[in-house]
Amino acid sequence: MENNLITFTSFFDFFKRFINIFRGPTFISLFRKIDPVFRQKLFLVVSMSNNCYGWVTTHSAVSRKKGITNEEISALIKLNKNDFEYKEWVALTYAREWTFARGENVPNEQKEEFIKYYSKKEQSLITKVLRTMLFINYFGNGFYKRPWRADESCGIDSGISK
């Protein structure tokens, strides 16, 4: 079975994504203004969606230290609406769809909900987290070439061809 590891498509893609991680708020503001537990959940959703072994493992360990249980980490795979506060679920679902879309066109339903529940400043901070994690995941997938799961990314069908 061939592993589906998502990484950079070209040097231009690498360079464009590298430059994009510096757009928007500073990295310091991410750590000051986003709740650490919520930030870890975002990191995990992006890493799971990219099938990135290194960062799923790392952020799972960090998440446990921050008080996230194994059950909560498992819930991030399926993102059932009933397992999360609605506003948090909106951001996590948006993060997953944003990742599946490689940071491009997110389906309108997720995008509209995200815009409805989060201020421009919050959207900017969350998007910065997503862009940064996407870049790091692509780099890790290209370097380690080891999937988090041998099957499709998280076992979730994104509906977007990879």
Mean pLDDT for 25-53 is 84
Confidence of residue 41 (pLDDT cuts 50, 70, 90): very high
Confidence of residue 19 (pLDDT cuts 50, 70, 90): confident
Give me the CATH number covering residue 124.
1.20.1290.10
Query: Is residue 149 in some structural domain?
Result: no
- pLDDT tens track for 82-132: 999 999 999 999 999 998 888 887 878 889 999 999 999 999 999 998 988
Q: Look at residues 119, 112, 62 and name the one whose alpha carbon lies nearest to residue 90.
A: 112
Is 90 buried (19+), middle (13-18) or exposed (0-12) by CB count in 10 A? buried
Query: Is residue 53 in some structural domain?
Result: yes
Q: What percent of the chain has pLDDT over 90?
A: 38
* pLDDT of 8 strictly over 50: yes
Query: Is residue 161 in some structural domain?
Result: no
Q: Look at residues 81, 55, 56, 48 and name the one whose alpha carbon lies nearest to residue 151.
A: 48
Sign of CA dihedral 116, 118, 121, 124: negative
Q: What percent of the chain has pLDDT over 70?
A: 83
Average predicted confidence (pLDDT) for the chain:
81
Query: Is residue 134 in some structural domain?
Result: yes
Query: Is residue 43 in some structural domain?
Result: yes
How many folded domains does the chain comprise? 1
Query: Is residue 157 in some structural domain?
Result: no
- Position 157 scores a pLDDT of 37
Query: Is residue 130 in some structural domain?
Result: yes
- pLDDT tens track for 146-162: 555 544 434 333 333 33
Task: Centre a 10 Å sphere on the Cβ of residue 16 and count the other Cβ atoms it contains.
Answer: 13
Range of the domain at 65: 33-144
- pLDDT tens track for 102-113: 888 787 888 999
Rounded-to-integer distance, Cα 42 and Cα 40, Å: 5
Query: Is residue 9 in some structural domain?
Result: no
pTM, two decimals, is 0.79
- Position 154 scores a pLDDT of 42
